[in-house]
Amino acid sequence: MSPGLAVKTVKVPNPGDLLTRLPGPEACAWIHEGDGIVGWGEAARLTLPAGPDRFAASETWLAGLFDAADITDDVCLPGTGPVAFGSFTFDPRSDGSVLIVPATIVARRGGVAWLTTITGPSVREHVSAAAYPPDEVRWSDGSLTAPQWEQAVTAAVTRIKAGELRKVVLARDLYASSSAPIDSRILLARLAARAPGCYTFACAGLVGATPELLIQREGRDVSSLVLAGTMARGGSQADDAALSAALLASPKDAEEHQYSVDSVRDLLAPLCGRLAVDPAPFLLQMADYQHLATKVTGVLAGEASALRLAASLHPTAAICGTPTETALQLIRELEGMDRGRYSGPVGWVDYRGNGEWGIALRCGEVNGSRARLFAGCGIVAGSQAAAELTETETKFRPMRRALEG
């Protein structure tokens, strides 16, 4: 967004299903319980190189863009005016973090809907195209086969028991190929329909539905939903109840979860004048799986945008481990792959600094007729490789079903 661009936000009638508004597959989206923001076209785009300063560089770039814009905002809610969608790499050594300011945005929040349009010489409009589902989807191993990944888990448990660290999160990938191009709009619609409680997202080819809200900022109010500890859902009511009780009673999952809660609390506390943490986890239940969940809420002590808060929190123990640097080094050693933007922050920030950022989970990178899916597990001293492999299969399931229909 260069000087001379004009931004206008106006109220509009209820647009219905926001995802049906997307004219083409190069979508930006953030949907939760039917509300959210979708965008298309490009007013500006930034792709960032590797480096620990990728978040700070993006903040500087956005500040320049938003300060130079001529903004008329008749709605003045979080998400009005110019909005940047973003997706950042997990590892600072990885290239490919991206920010996109769509040229057109349609959004709804609490019964209020709005349209934001950006005009100017550098704006690229989106070309409309019909959406077709993937066809003849075939699957192949990712960077490690299942037995190789189990060996990595066993190696991690040995290192944990030796006292090198307390928790590490190990991920694996899986490849899908289709005889037809994979359209992100089809995946988004299927994910949102099957898991409305998740945050369904798309940004620069990364598509998914994450249950984990890294940070939400509305003015000075902030909140985070911490998830760690996972169990599949049961096939019957009795089985489901038994699995839920087992998750709540599991010492291994309680340990894994507490590390994640402590991580978010310790990172947010210096930024907040007031911070509250749920005294005990609750069950967050989705169609295929359930998590131990803890909500953290606070009031900022000073100025910090949602993007800056996401940068401060990343990486939490929920997707890296603890201690952080030791866990990150072990991930680099054992995973055998570059995660790319999987498990990095994904979300949006507006020109006032409000926004929502999740952790890019239950997702895949879509490129033409191919997709690369990801799933990971928190490994602690009590972890067993076969059980962790089964957990990854459960976590692959939402994206596999979205691809297969």
Active site members: 167, 212
**Distance from chain centroid for Cα 13:** 29
6-12 vs 70-73, strand pairing mode = parallel
Cα separation of 190 and 244, whole Å? 26
398 and 195 Cβ atoms separated by less than 8 Å: yes
User: At which residue do the structure tokens 């086969």 appear?
Assistant: 145
User: How buried is residue 236: exposed, middle or buried, by Cβ count under 10 Å (0-12/13-18/19+)?
Assistant: exposed
Q: Tell me how far apart the terminal alpha carbons of the chain are, to the nearest angstrom.
A: 38
φ/ψ of 6, rounded to 5, equals -115, 135
82 and 107 Cβ atoms separated by less than 8 Å: no
φ/ψ of 275, rounded to 5, equals -145, 135
**Count of C-beta atoms within a 10 Å radius of residue 102:** 29
**Distance from chain centroid for Cα 341:** 9
Cα separation of 394 and 398, whole Å? 8
Q: For CA atoms 153, 316, 86, 283, give the dihedral sign.
A: positive
